[in-house]
Amino acid sequence: MALSHFGIALLLIASARPLFSGTVIPGFTETTIVGTGIASPTGMAVAPDGRVFVTQQGGQVRVIQNGSLLAAPALSLTVDSAGERGLIGIALDPNFASNGFAYLQYTVPGATAHNQVSRVTLSGNTMVPGSELPILQLDPLSAATNHNGGTIEFGPDGKLYVGAGENANPANSQTLTNLLGKILRINPDGTIPSDNPFASTLGARGEIFAYGLRNPFQFTFDPNTGSLFANDVGQNTFEEIDVILAGNNYGWPITEGLGAVPGLTNPLFFYDHTIGPTGGCAITGGTVFQGDYFFADLCSGWIRRLALSGPPVASPFLSGGSSIVSLRSAGPGGFYYLQIGAGADTGGLFLITADAGVPEASSLMLTGLGIAAVVMAVRLRRARLSPPSAAAPAIGGRVVAGHND
């Protein structure tokens, strides 16, 4: 899966109207937070005060506050954005409200291009100059610009988890001597936790938490159980949802989808490459909501709901999205989804909430900011918009390469 980069467009989107929003099943409501104006988004993180920080492949972190996309980025990095490279992941420190630490994964350009995880300090909505501190250097990349992974996220144990693709070299996934094709686990300062499964294995990279993955583009933790779900983009046959456990081997390239090889861990769920309501081309975002796992496909434009109690059966949830890349929790009351859109600078952010059956009143609150307040801010903003006859911003073409490039 390649997310094409179209440059930077710092757009004021107060007059923009939503493009290609999805249709959710009855019982839930979709609210457009930012309908367009984000250039090639790759991921996001939600702050305790409700701000959403969105990574753009070209190296910028955009800020969405009170329902509006701010004109100035929080930061802009120099990155290699060829193919699936670029600024591909963001995580906020568990103590972000007090220390302002944000962690970024991006591709460092140059003759030996490689992915790097850095910590930066944010003050308000901007990076403190000179605050970048690299904490992890991944292995040099080959000329292939795909299978680059991306997500970084803090686990309930306070450790930082990093998704790394195998750089279109399947052999990387099965070796413990490099970091590619793996889920990594490090301390916030970049050091290796002593309880990592390979921390004491001679010749192995101690940062490795799990291996045998092809391209774990997005992953997330269940806030209730602590389980780690990783969406591994497949090659010719299946897309996988894996439950990641310490030291396990998830089979790539020996197996894809369900296998019967001793010592390899099968996925919790997988689906085929029939474009349509149950199949797709590249699994992307995932999040836990109402006790189930919600996941998206890039090409089919849907979000499906996977039951986590009982048999892992998936059911329809949303259709008609436009290259959905990331899902993130908005608290127990809902979740965000982020999509690339259908042209340059047409990425958007949308909020899904339940109409009924919310477990308790407190679940209607985002951490530090109510969902109702976000929706109200959006409505107030729209009340100040141009009339419906105003010309919508022009959109350009974009190419999303196939999942098995």
User: Is 405 a member of any domain?
Assistant: no
Residue 354: the pLDDT is 97
Find, among 9, 47, 38, 53, the residue nearest to 324 by Cα.
38
User: Is 285 a member of any domain?
Assistant: yes
User: Is 14 a member of any domain?
Assistant: no
The burial of 65, by beta-carbon neighbours within 10 Å (0-12 exposed, 13-18 middle, 19 or more buried), is given as middle
Residue 344: the pLDDT is 86
Domain that holds residue 180: 23-383
Q: Once rounded to an integer, what is the mean pLDDT over residues 153-169? A: 98
Residue 3: the pLDDT is 35
Whether 403 has a pLDDT exceeding 60, the answer reads no
Find, among 4, 124, 3, the residue nearest to 70 by Cα.
124
Summarised one tens digit per residue, pLDDT across range 246-288 is 999 999 999 999 999 999 999 999 999 999 999 999 999 999 9
In this prediction the pTM is: 0.87
3-state secondary structure of 52: strand
Summarised one tens digit per residue, pLDDT across range 7-48 is 222 222 222 334 567 899 999 999 999 999 999 999 999 999
pLDDT band at 375 (very low <50, low <70, confident <90, very high): low
- Find the helix or strand (DSSP H, E) in which 172 lies: helix 171-174
Report how far Cα 19 is from the mean position of its chain's Cα atoms.
Answer: 21
Look at the block and give the residue holding tokens 């990093």.
162
User: Is 395 a member of any domain?
Assistant: no
Q: Once rounded to an integer, what is the mean pLDDT over residues 125-132? A: 98
Find, among 259, 359, 350, the residue nearest to 303 by Cα.
350
HSE at residue 263, side-chain half, CA atoms within 13 A, is: 5
Rounded percentage of the chain residues whose pLDDT exceeds 70: 83
- Distance (Å, whole) CA 61 – CA 89: 10
Please say whether the beta carbons of 157 and 166 come within 8 A: no
**Which CATH number do you get for residue 204?**
2.120.10.30
Please say whether the beta carbons of 119 and 106 come within 8 A: no
How many folded domains does the chain comprise? Answer: 1
Find, among 228, 323, 327, 246, the residue nearest to 285 by Cα.
327
Bridge partners (DSSP) of residue 114 are 108, 140
User: Is 36 a member of any domain?
Assistant: yes
Summarised one tens digit per residue, pLDDT across range 259-269 is 999 999 999 99
- Distance (Å, whole) CA 89 – CA 74: 15
Q: Which residues contact 343 (CB under 8 A, 6 or more apart)?
A: 395, 396, 397, 398
User: Is 17 a member of any domain?
Assistant: no
Find, among 12, 4, 7, 8, the residue nearest to 393 by Cα.
12
Phi, psi dihedrals of residue 383, rounded to the nearest 5°: -65, -20
User: Is 379 a member of any domain?
Assistant: yes
Find, among 295, 304, 345, 364, the residue nearest to 325 by Cα.
295
Sequence-ordered strand ranges (E) for 14-170 = 23-24, 28-38, 41-46, 52-56, 60-65, 68-69, 75-76, 87-92, 101-108, 114-123, 126-127, 133-140, 152-154, 160-164
User: Is 263 a member of any domain?
Assistant: yes
Size of the chain, expressed as the number of residues it contains = 405
Distances (CA, A) of 254 to 25, 214, 221, 263, 282: 38, 11, 26, 11, 19
Mean pLDDT is lowest, of 273-287, 333-347, 389-403, for 389-403
Strands 324-329 and 314-319: unpaired
Mean pLDDT is lowest, of 105-114, 280-289, 386-395, for 386-395
Residue 381: the pLDDT is 47
Residue 356: the pLDDT is 75
Average pLDDT of the chain is: 87
pLDDT band at 164 (very low <50, low <70, confident <90, very high): very high
Summarised one tens digit per residue, pLDDT across range 208-255 is 999 999 999 999 999 999 999 999 999 989 999 999 999 999 999 999
